[in-house]
Amino acid sequence: MTDTRTVDVAEPDWLRRRPRPGELAIRGFLFVCGALSIAITVGIIYELGKESLLFFQDDRVSLSDFLTGTVWQPQAGRFGIWALVLGTALISIIAMVVAVPLGLAAAIYLSEYASTRVRGFFKPVLEVLVGIPTVVYGFFALTFMTPLLRSLFGANLVGFFNVLSAGIVVGILIVPLISSLSEDALAAVPDSLRQAAYALGASRLEVALRVVVPAALSGIAAGFVVALSRAVGETMVVTLAAGASPRNFSLGEDSLFGFILDPFRGAQAMTGYVAITASGDVSHNSIDYNSIFAVGLALFVMTLGLNSLSRRFVRRFRQEYE
């Protein structure tokens, strides 16, 4: 008969778990930071919701008109959010048209073509653009980009305040964001994929465009969405360059490309309206004051949707390599 009793063996001292107060303090600090971040986010949502509720409780405001209206005239009691959404969308689309090819091309060059010395020089130079105050970009758009567009297309066609100038400068502003995130995604692709493509006779350009970029697609797309969220939330450039008058329109009456989508006209973005109204002489708890929280809540929902889309895209197309 076999004896199945277990014999307790004394655990060596060096295997025993010892208290580490420093590590526990760091874990506690990190937990407090995470909890504080969540609490701040909840507080922002609470304040936006509370003030927005006061806005929608006003007898002059209709939720259906706010969500479907295309005319924003607070003085006349008309609060159609789509007039402001139009300005934000036009500027953001133009910005992405400018920033995506430039940022992605810069990322491909830094990842696949540049030497270590060149990459070490150009990447910090690109990232320096992120640290420039956005008000400087706004004055750049107003004093350089707008006069340039007026000289190219004619002063009669291009207004002094226009969404094209604002969109181009916002695109320049987010180029470093796209290039940095895309370059990180490209650099994370295993070098074995590149070597295998070279072994099959592919050129460097073919390796970059047909192997590396598809392999890093999820990270690149996430960078695009983050940059789009940054463009949607930009304030100073659109306030200074795009104008302070909402582009009120009427579907079926106004020309689509002659007025509604005309990039040479001015338009007020959602962030521009919040900045101008909040800095003006607006009394507390007035309908104009409460409207900025409603617009801010709509902007928060838009950026939250973009970030959620980015996370779903990353999960859907993420590729893991060993």
Give the pLDDT band of residue 15 (cuts 50, 70, 90): low
CA angle, residues 153, 156, 161, in degrees to nearest 5: 85
> Is the CB of residue 279 less than 8 Å from the CB of residue 288?
no
d(CA 188, CA 270): 37
- Residue 8 pLDDT exceeds 60: no
Instruction: Note the pLDDT tens digit of each residue in 151-194.
Output: 999 888 898 999 999 999 999 999 999 998 898 889 888 888 88
> Is the CB of residue 307 less than 8 Å from the CB of residue 225?
yes
CATH of domain 81-286+296-317: 1.10.3720.10
In this structure, what are the phi and psi dihedrals at residue 149, rounded to the nearest 5 degrees?
-65, -40
**Does residue 73 sit in helix, strand or coil?**
strand
Q: What is the pLDDT of residue 318?
A: 66
- Residue 127 pLDDT exceeds 70: yes
d(CA 295, CA 297): 5
The pTM is what?
A: 0.86
